[in-house]
Amino acid sequence: AAEDGLNGWLRYASLPCSKSCHSNLPSTIVTLNSTESSPVYIAGTELHKGLKGVYRKDVRVSHKCKTSSSVIVGTVDQYRKTCGAIHSIPELEDDGFWLSTKGDAVQILGQNERGALYGTFEYLSMISQGNFSRVAYASNPSQPIRWVNQWDNMDGSIERGYGGPSIFFKNGQIVEDLTRVAEYARLLASIKINAVVINNVNANATLLDPKNIDGFGRVADVFRPYGIQVGMSLNFASPQTYGGLSTFDPLDESVIKWWSDITAQIYKRVPDMAGYLVKADSEGQPGPQTYNRTLADAANLFAKEVQPYGGIVMYRAFVYNQLNESVWTADRAKAAVNFFKELDGEFDDNVVIQIKFGPIDFQVREPVSPLFANLPNTNMAIELQVTQEYLGQQSHLVYLPPLWKTILDFDLRVDHQPSLVRDIVAGKRFNRKFGGSAAVVNVGTNTTWLGSHLSMSNLYAYGRLAWSSTDDAQDILHDWIRLTFGLDRKVLDTITHMSMVSWPAYEQYSGNLGIQTLTDILYTHYGPNPASQDNNGWGQWTRADQASIGMDRTVKNGTGYSGQYPDEIATMYENINTTPDDLLLWFHHVDYTHRLKSGKTVIQHFYDAHYTGAETAQTFLTQWESLQGKIDQERYSHVRHFLDYQTGHSIVWRDAINDFYHNLSGIPDEAKRVSHH
């Protein structure tokens, strides 16, 4: 039964097979590459497994072309060589594929082998959902960069990971048994992820020792057949702390030479390494500022090293300093634009700036990071978080795509032209060569991967959106539910309903109106602790006092943050009347008695929303219980346990937040639910 968790959405659970289903099933699998560790070969084994699992049909795998009653998988070129001419198919981009179930043979043809594997998983997804419709289409990625990041430490712990210890590291080394890594590779390939960074952005230089480089190579060997490249997070001070040099100045000759040698060693073992990920000058991490060098000096140092090998550098925009709250204009949200804007155009072509979706840190609601509008001459990628650091840490059900969509679909109106974030990161808006997405995932050795079964919908959806950012959040969810829990209509409707209301509910019972999550900001990032937000250097402030609340980020009276957006957006946020209520306290400092567009006061909205949100969360358990018997006992109980917990914890949240603001403001709840403590 642990298998159910490990296989995630790739369970290939058996379905009844009617006559028409039978006539639609291939009797031969043709793979156009017989090399064992090739993605096309893997596609063949996966097809075999899928047909056997879903329809109990043991289909022979052959490497000879057979164009009737078969499923043929390979690249377009392999097809031409082995099977002959192919009818006109649309242009395929890198990693793209053609899938046709219309002819005598199912054709799954990739632009490259990775694409062929993606098409295979897409076909398997269809038939695992009992879908035998006749389709013929080309599918191309909306973004070339579709990465995941793991924040795994060398000792096997995972920063902000809630699914147990690392599948990669233990006791300072790469683990011997990489079975789980292969299983992870399979899941990631099925959602069209093309690279994974396996170590924490707060990086430990010991990954660079020869034994560990070899271990890193073993990991790469496991991922490679799945079309997934590996990447590595670097510690900027490595030349000094690990290499024994007297400096880590990015412009120093000995430092450059040191990185050159290390890079050569890594590429010798991993010739197709995707590249480096760099967090520098942030949260205590060393960086170029120590030597008064720019962030571009740092990024380009690595870019030049990996360039000859075809690698790229993902340089994180998450750079900020501690601030003093007594300064009214101090604002962490401004940091990224302040650091990076002036460097636009100075980054090498193979540098990509990896930007968290909002200007602070994966909060329950944030405006789009204004940096996306400020780097027209730089490659950019958006950073999302699948691991629910601030969002209940997998103990709360929070389906994230509706949140991500508020960002991806946002129009920044750069130069008064349509400038959707999803088009910017795809490289389309500013005609950039690279662009894309990275998500912090943090799966662990837990057999559910993330710690709870329902959280896997977020990983699944992340991959889907990285490939096709216009896909609908609910459609994606439907596929995930059917693949994970079967085709029962009630199961589908119930989990869909719970999931779709889960993010709004979490926002309501944690922190609404753009005030952020109100979680414990200092250590755990878990549970309510509104008092912790202020009077510290972290800059996730609410500026709540007895009479008023919110960050004034206007140009007129506040930190000036709203001025970092293009005109139309800046004007909207600058004016309290045109600022959407759900970001009101992000941009404005108002009295608790300020009236929202709904007519309610801010404080009454707080009280009401916390009740509404918790009430919604309390329906999850009973909804889930109505599915007993329709889901295997083990997964049923595991999920039930979490929803039971969420029922209670949403009330803890509700009362903690409401009591806090009630005590602070002294303003009674009109409905008389909140009382003095």
| Interface residue list for ligand GCU (CB under 6 A) | 159-160, 201-202, 279, 283, 318, 361, 389
What is the C-alpha R_g of the chain?
A: 26
- Taking the complex as a whole, how short is the minimal distance between the CB of residue 201 and ligand GCU, in angstroms? 5
3-state helix, strand, coil in the chain (%, to 5): 40, 15, 45
Is the distance from CB of 144 to CB of 436 less than 8 angstroms? yes
3-state secondary structure 496-549: HHHHHHHHHHHHHHCCCCCCCCCECCCCCCCCECHHHHCCCCCCCCCCCCCCEE
Which one of the listed residues 77, 209, 283, 472 is annotated catalytic? Answer: 283
- Taking the complex as a whole, how short is the minimal distance between the CB of residue 520 and ligand GCU, in angstroms? 11
Which one of the listed residues 46, 361, 366, 423 is annotated catalytic? Answer: 361
Question: Catalytic: 361?
Answer: yes
**Residue 92 to residue 97: CA distance in whole angstroms:** 6
159/221 with CB nearer ligand GCU = 159
73/403 with CB nearer ligand GCU = 403
201/323 with CB nearer ligand GCU = 201
Name the residue with tokens 């969002």: 391
Is the distance from CB of 69 to CB of 60 less than 8 angstroms? no
**Integer distance in angstroms from the first to the last C-alpha of the chain?**
47
- Taking the complex as a whole, how short is the minimal distance between the CB of residue 239 and ligand GCU, in angstroms? 21
- Taking the complex as a whole, how short is the minimal distance between the CB of residue 596 and ligand GCU, in angstroms? 30
Is the distance from CB of 439 to CB of 385 less than 8 angstroms? yes
- Taking the complex as a whole, how short is the minimal distance between the CB of residue 297 and ligand GCU, in angstroms? 21
The continuous run of DSSP H or E covering 74 comes out as: strand 70-75
55/315 with CB nearer ligand GCU = 315
- Taking the complex as a whole, how short is the minimal distance between the CB of residue 425 and ligand GCU, in angstroms? 18
> Burial letters for 156-191: b for 16+ Cβ neighbours within 10 Å, e otherwise?
bbbebbbbbbbbbbbeebbbeebebbebbbbbbbbb
202/647 with CB nearer ligand GCU = 202
- Taking the complex as a whole, how short is the minimal distance between the CB of residue 318 and ligand GCU, in angstroms? 5
DSSP per-residue codes, 116-166: HHHHHHHHHHHHHTT-----EEEE--S-SEEEEE--B-TTS-BTT--S-S-
283/409 with CB nearer ligand GCU = 283
**Residue 657 to residue 660: CA distance in whole angstroms:** 5
Residue 217 phi/psi, 5-degree rounding, is: -65, -40
Question: Catalytic: 568?
Answer: no
DSSP structural state of residue 368:
P
Which one of the listed residues 46, 389, 574, 608 is annotated catalytic? Answer: 389
283/493 with CB nearer ligand GCU = 283
- Catalytically active residues are 283, 361, 389
